[in-house]
Homo-oligomer: A and B are copies of this chain.
């Protein structure tokens, strides 16, 4: 019996490529065992490991109440049920694609237009990344990814595709097929400036590798001058001519910007016709429910609502970020300055006895089990320096924010001397994801690999 239970399965099923052994997911389990509830379990673990955007849900609920005909499951909209429930074309409902294309334009300041015919859907950004990897790379091929990066990528891009993620192409005989950037960055909450993005486009063109730009946090940006999409960069005069658009692909989603992670709306927007065609065929494995497509189509076609929602959502996120940052600063905890995202990157280096990842994990265990806050340690994001933690702040109400800050305050007071005696200043701007132009020049071709030693793209402090 045991044999069939395990041995007769695939290598994938027997391995741990799913990545759930990471402390990122371990923290979720700790939360699930003892979840905070203001009345039922006031001493439980507060979930701050989940990048959800719950701050503007009331606006959506209001819109639904005013637009019941937008649903096929309301008395007002049920006459469309049959047609929608039976629609299974993998191109998706035309109005859905139009709505998403318009939203993508709007979250990028309407400075660039998106073509609805290039909108390919997939099961969340999770599915979008996997489909993109399946289209662009063979098993064993690699994508360059600046660290720190979202832990889920280790599952999404690698697990079933056999593709590798590497911070730089140091090994021979690895074919690098692309560069994956996350802009705004998860976990840093920072955005890339135009010059950096131009260098990225030049770099991937020079090396004939793909660029996948994950922009799922586009509308969470609250800093000025605001977010710049790769879609804008390739329209810039000095880039337009030299850029092969066949290499450019964007991953988008409604999970973060609209706050609908449960609806599994992931989007691949590729400038490469072959990728559009192939990804659309692959989308059969993760189509968005037509019930949801239909709702989203109606909601996104309401320009006035979308504009108001995006503006108000960014305003509320900025406010929440401010409250959180200030609360931490008051007890001596410094954070990297964010431009957006649903989290901040917290500097607890002064609390480490030694600057090692073992110490980071030890501190993390104290935070989760004693302070009872599930934050995510930097090591789970492949951060190269110990002591940083990602803290999500948009998945809770104001009361939970105050409780979590009070807990952090209590914890720091117990370690007061350590914090005050810390001589290391937090230099947040240094941590911004950036290409080093120095290293860009160091770029060398190796005899064994088409794309060796990359100009990294690494978060350092």
In the complex the two chains form, is A4's CB within 8 Å of B244's CB? yes
Distance between A147 CB and nearest chain B CB, rounded to angstroms: 22
Inter-subunit contact B81/A285 (CB<8 Å): no
Q: How far is the CA of A322 from the CA of B10 in the complex (A)?
A: 45
Q: Which residues of B contact A155 (CB under 8 A)?
A: 281, 284
Cβ of A3: which chain B residues have Cβ within 8 Å of it?
A: 208
CB distance from A413 to the nearest CB of B (A): 33
Stretch at the interface among A71-79, A337-345, A376-384, A433-441: A71-79
Residue-wise, chain A 71-106 has the 8 Å CB interface mask toward B (1 for contact) of 111110011011011111000000000000000000
Chain B residues, Cβ within 8 Å of A20 = 281
The number of chain A residues with a CB under 8 A from chain B is 84
Binary contact track A396-426/B, C-beta < 8 Å → 1, others 0? 0000000000000000000000000000000
Q: Contact: A85 with B259, CB < 8 Å?
A: yes
> Nearest Cβ distance between residue A27 and chain B, in whole angstroms?
15
In contact, A290 and B262 (Cβ under 8 angstroms): yes
B262 touches A134 (CB 8 A): no
Cross-chain contact B61 with A81 (CB below 8 angstroms): yes
Residues of chain B within 8 A of A273, CB atoms compared: 5
B contact residues around A141 at 8 Å (CB): 10
Instruction: Return the chain B residue nearest A254 by Cβ.
Output: B85
The answer on a CB contact under 8 Å between A8 and B247 is: yes
Tell whether, in the assembled complex, residue A130 and residue B285 are in contact, meaning their CB atoms are under 8 Å apart. yes
A459 at the interface (CB under 8 A from B): no
Is A323 part of the contact surface with B, judged by Cβ < 8 Å?
A: no
Q: A246 contacts B134, CB within 8 Å?
A: no
Q: How far is the CB of A96 from chain B (nearest CB, A)?
A: 11
Q: Beta-carbon contacts of A266-310 to B below 8 Å, as 1s and 0s?
A: 000000111100100110111111111001000000000000000
* Given A9-B136, A135-B12, A244-B4, A57-B81 contact (CB < 8 Å): yes
- CB pair B73 A274 closer than 8 Å: no
At the interface, yes or no: A315 with Cβ under 8 Å from chain B? Answer: no
Closest residue on chain B to residue A137 by CB atoms: B10
Give the secondary structure class of A's interface.
Answer: helix
**Cα A18 to Cα B285 with chains together (Å):** 12
Quick check: is A70 within 8 A (CB to CB) of the other chain?
A: yes
Residues A1-21 near B (CB distance < 8 A): 1, 3-6, 8-13, 18, 20
CA distance A263 to B86 in the complex (A): 8
Q: Is the CB of B285 within 8 A of A291?
A: no
A34-42, A119-127, A230-238, A364-372: which lies at the B interface? A119-127
Contact of A244 among B1, B52, B73, B85 (CB under 8 A): B1
Taking a contact as CB atoms closer than 8 A, the residue among B9, B73, B78, B262 that contacts A87 in the complex is B262
Given contacts A86-B259, A136-B9, A262-B87, contact A78 B57 (CB under 8 A): no
A65 at the interface (CB under 8 A from B): yes
One digit per residue, 1 when the CB lies within 8 angstroms of any chain B CB and 0 when it does not, for chain A 54-72 equals: 1001001100110010111
Taking A1-B246, A12-B278, A54-B82 as known contacts, 18 extra A-B pairs with beta carbons closer than 8 A to each other, sorted by chain A number, are A4-B246, A6-B274, A8-B177, A8-B210, A9-B278, A10-B137, A57-B86, A61-B78, A64-B78, A73-B73, A86-B261, A88-B255, A88-B261, A123-B285, A123-B287, A126-B284, A262-B290, A285-B286
* 19 cross-chain CB contacts under 8 A: A4-B247, A4-B272, A9-B136, A9-B275, A9-B278, A10-B134, A12-B278, A13-B275, A73-B73, A73-B74, A86-B259, A88-B261, A88-B262, A123-B123, A126-B285, A155-B281, A263-B289, A286-B286, A291-B295
- In order of increasing CB-CB distance, the 3 nearest A-B pairs are A262-B290, A71-B73, A4-B246
